[in-house]
């Protein structure tokens, strides 16, 4: 753990993808060396076992095993806490399903030299979601519409492909986040925005999954939308009471 950059990847039933994403990450060249942290929610398909094997051969790869499926939001909170505890300056978060291409990471890194937060946006290019089915596009577009109109945030707030400059963000900001599910992404960006963190979007294209299935179901989607309305009602409270300085 001598590097300043950590790439965090939560997993659940990604046995077919985890070695591929690892190999793709090891092929990219950044100006600084980086470590990789996987967190697995006790996948029944053996994802955790594969990650354990990788950690044996590569000392830059770390692994947090959990006892069950505890939620994507709680996974990201655990990854962020681990990064702070181990004194990383920059944290990059991404999915393991190969829809977040590691080739974008160099762009994230470059933009991160000028911003506190960098987001991979699916809305800066018209054809970014063309490979997705109609159901997934409708849910994603509805979430983006509600985020813009309820929370007054123009960003792609539901995506997990992000960079955080932890050396510029007070860890207390992340402790304000309550969501343990997919609404973590909306809530975290709202709180970062209200705390005057500079946020930069870069365009990304998301290909269709090659292996495995999406983990987000209809209940997850409606829970996230419900949480959006709750955040709308609490926004003024956030604005008045939840501001942290570094």
Query: How far is residue 149's CA from residue 232's CA, in Å, rounded to a whole number?
Result: 10
Higher pLDDT, 174 or 131: 174
Mean pLDDT of 5-29: 97
Mean pLDDT, the chain, whole residue set: 85
pLDDT at 241: 45
CATH superfamily of the domain spanning 5-241: Spore Coat Polysaccharide Biosynthesis Protein SpsA; Chain A (3.90.550.10)
Higher pLDDT, 219 or 133: 219
184-201 per-position pLDDT tens digit: 998 899 899 989 999 999
pLDDT at 244: 52
Provide the 10 A C-beta neighbour count for residue 86: 13
Query: Are 35 and 25 contacting, i.e. CB atoms less than 8 angstroms apart?
Result: no
- The pLDDT of residue 240 is above 50: no
144-178 per-position pLDDT tens digit: 677 666 777 778 888 899 999 999 999 999 999 98
Quote the pTM value.
0.84
- The pLDDT of residue 245 is above 60: no
pLDDT at 127: 58
């Amino acid at each position: 753990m001598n590097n300043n950059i950590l790439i965090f990847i939560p997993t659940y039933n990604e046995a077919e993808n985890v070695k591929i994403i690892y190999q793709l990450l090891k092929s990219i060249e950044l100006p600084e060396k980086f470590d990789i942290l996987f967190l697995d929610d006790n996948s029944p398909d053996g994802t955790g076992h594969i990650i354990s094997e990788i950690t044996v051969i590569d000392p830059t790869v770390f692994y947090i095993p959990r006892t069950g499926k505890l939620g994507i939001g709680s996974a990201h909170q655990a990854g962020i806490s681990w990064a702070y505890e181990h004194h990383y300056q920059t944290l990059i978060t991404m999915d393991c399903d190969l829809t977040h291409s590691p080739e974008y990471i160099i762009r994230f890194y470059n933009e991160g030299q000028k911003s506190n937060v960098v987001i991979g946006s699916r809305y800066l290019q018209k054809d970014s979601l063309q490979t997705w089915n109609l159901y997934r596009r409708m849910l994603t577009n509805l979430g983006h519409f509600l985020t813009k109109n309820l929370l007054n945030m123009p960003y792609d707030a539901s995506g997990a492909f992000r960079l955080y400059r932890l050396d510029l963000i007070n860890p207390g900001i992340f402790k304000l986040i309550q969501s343990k599910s997919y609404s973590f992404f909306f809530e975290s960006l709202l709180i970062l925005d209200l705390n005057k963190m500079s946020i930069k979007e870069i365009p990304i294209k998301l290909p269709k999954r090659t292996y495995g299935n999406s983990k987000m179901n209809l209940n997850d989607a409606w829970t996230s939308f419900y949480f959006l309305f709750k955040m709308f009602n609490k926004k003024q409270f956030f604005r008045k009471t939840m501001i942290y300085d570094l």
